[in-house]
């Protein structure tokens, strides 16, 4: 479930052509050992709802041998899954299938982009979300054209475009609409 969200967010960032294509986060800006969260406490199987237990039944036999972080992630993911509508579940399942089909190198790139996004200030994250929402509302042909133009840019051209405020970025030429 968490992976599906990472995929969705990463694909969203990549599709938006936004900050997701920026340079990798320097090691100095990445959270260090001092920023590491406290170790997760083990999650007792009995503390989960019957619906969560049913959803995670394949883990029941070895639940106590799982690392506490994994237990917490599974419990949180199962709760999130149960709170989704059928449409959201279908969409998440589709994204997860796409994630599993990706080569490991591509998954690693997406994980790095997700970490880069999470390291941004909240205002910058909001700008990325707004850009993505504008992108989603465009006609499919327009999105395809923007992706094509982005892929044709050199890394230097992309960097220059991304350094400009969004309001100052040139809009790619539109096709004549009749």
**How far is residue 95 CA from its own chain's centroid?**
10
In the chain, where are the structural domains located?
Answer: 1-16+42-121
| pTM as predicted | 0.53
Grouping H, G, I as helix, E, B as strand and the rest as coil, residue 32 is coil
**At which residue do the structure tokens 């690693």 appear?**
108
DSSP alpha helix (H) spans, the chain? 2-16, 50-55, 68-83, 86-101, 104-118, 122-137, 140-152, 155-163
Per-residue pLDDT of the chain (178 residues; tens, 9 = 90+): 444 444 344 434 443 333 333 333 333 344 444 555 667 788 899 999 999 999 999 999 999 999 999 999 999 999 999 999 999 999 999 999 999 999 999 999 999 999 999 999 999 999 889 988 999 999 999 999 999 999 999 999 988 887 777 665 555 545 454 4
Cα-based distances in Å from 112 to 15, 35, 156: 16, 17, 20
Distance (Å, rounded) from C-alpha 102 to C-alpha 169?
32
């Amino acid at each position: 479930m968490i992976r599906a969200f990472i995929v969705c967010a990463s694909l969203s960032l990549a599709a938006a052509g936004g900050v997701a294509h920026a340079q990798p986060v320097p090691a100095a800006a990445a959270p260090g050992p001092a920023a590491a969260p406290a170790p997760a406490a083990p999650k007792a199987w009995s503390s989960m709802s019957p619906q969560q237990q049913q959803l995670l039944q394949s883990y029941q036999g070895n639940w106590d041998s799982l690392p506490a972080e994994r237990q917490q992630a599974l419990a949180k993911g199962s709760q999130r899954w149960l709170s989704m509508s059928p449409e959201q579940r279908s969409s998440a399942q589709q994204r997860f299938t796409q994630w599993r089909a990706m080569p490991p190198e591509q998954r690693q790139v997406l994980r790095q982009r997700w970490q880069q996004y999470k390291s941004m200030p909240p205002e910058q994250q909001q700008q990325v979300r707004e850009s993505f929402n504008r992108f989603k509302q465009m006609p499919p042909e327009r999105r395809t054209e923007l992706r094509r133009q982005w892929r044709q840019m050199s890394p230097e051209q992309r960097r220059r475009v991304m350094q400009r405020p969004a309001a100052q970025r040139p809009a790619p030429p539109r096709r004549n609409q009749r």
